[in-house]
Amino acid sequence: MDIFLYIIIFIIGTLFGSFFTLAVYRIPLKQDITHKRSYCPNCNHKLGFLDMIPILSYICLKGKCRYCGQKIRPRYLILEILSGIVFVLFAMSIKLSVYTTDVSTLVYFVFGVIYITTLFIIAGIDKESHKIEKSVLLFGYIMQTIYIIYLYIVEKDPNVYRYVIYLLIVFILSLINTFYLRKKVKNSYALDVLQLCVLFLMFTYEAISILTIDFTLLAIAISLIAEKLLNVKPIKQKKEENKADKENKEEMPVPVGFYLCITNIICLIVANYYIFF
């Protein structure tokens, strides 16, 4: 029976993956993500049910829009598949089973899925526009607060007061951002990243959060080195072209939030395997 459970979880994960692409595109544009029907960003034609089946629609349509023929970026398919895999790995990491799962584990799984969803959307937006979307971050805090209340009332968690401290830190950082930094600087990206790290602390505890930061720094370093190596130009290339490229090329800022979110999801799943097994 568990195999069927994980198949269902994979399908749910692909559905969430399809939602991630929609949310990453619409949230920065301040568009509705729940009631407004999906549409092709090229021709604006509303998509039908058969156009929105995760993975299958992309394969059947050969990666093109049914209405205008515009190519659909492969990342949509990749994200849907990866989302399904991540959901299954997370379920397996906590030994989710039809036969042995208790209410506590099931609740943790539900809030874990919501947490991973929040990180996926934050990562996607940061990757595209180098911005930690505050509305998504706030959603993560609200859901985590609900989970804290559940732990306190139902499971009588003795460590619940540590969550209150983190919420207080978030409140202070929000006040600093609202009343001070907004007047002094145009971009408070560093503070937003700090608030994101507090969200990690609230759900994944201190050890996993520290590992997340460590591995994020390593991932960024490897990424920058790989980028430099891949962009090495042939020796025979004209010097004039090199100069023009240097003048016209603007260095894109590193999407720290993207790396943090992806690394935290990986660390969370690996740590769960260690804890539950």
Where is pLDDT greater, at 104 or 61?
104
**Per the structure block, which two tokens stand in for 67?**
């209405």
Looking at the predicted structure, is the pLDDT value of residue 269 above 90?
A: yes
Residue type, 249: K
Looking at the predicted structure, is the pLDDT value of residue 244 above 50?
A: no
Where is pLDDT greater, at 214 or 49?
214
Q: What is the pLDDT of residue 212?
A: 95
Q: What is the pLDDT of residue 234?
A: 55
Three-state DSSP class for residue 231? coil
Q: What is the pLDDT of residue 249?
A: 44
CB neighbours of residue 247 within 10 Å: 8
Q: If you average pLDDT over residues 92-100, what whole number do you get?
A: 89
Q: What is the pLDDT of residue 60?
A: 81
Q: If you average pLDDT over residues 134-149, what whole number do you get?
A: 91
Q: If you average pLDDT over residues 138-167, what whole number do you get?
A: 86
Q: What is the pLDDT of residues 41-55, one digit of tens each?
A: 778 778 776 677 888
When pLDDT is cut at 50, 70 and 90, the band that residue 100 belongs to is: confident
Q: How much is the pTM?
A: 0.86
Mean model confidence pLDDT for the chain: 83
Q: What is the pLDDT of residues 220-229, one digit of tens each?
A: 999 889 888 8
Q: What is the pLDDT of residue 92?
A: 94
Residue type, 276: F
Query: What's the per-residue H, E or C state across 67-128?
Result: CCCCECCCHHHHHHHHHHHHHHHHHHHCCCCCCCCCHHHHHHHHHHHHHHHHHHHHHHHHHH
When pLDDT is cut at 50, 70 and 90, the band that residue 276 belongs to is: confident
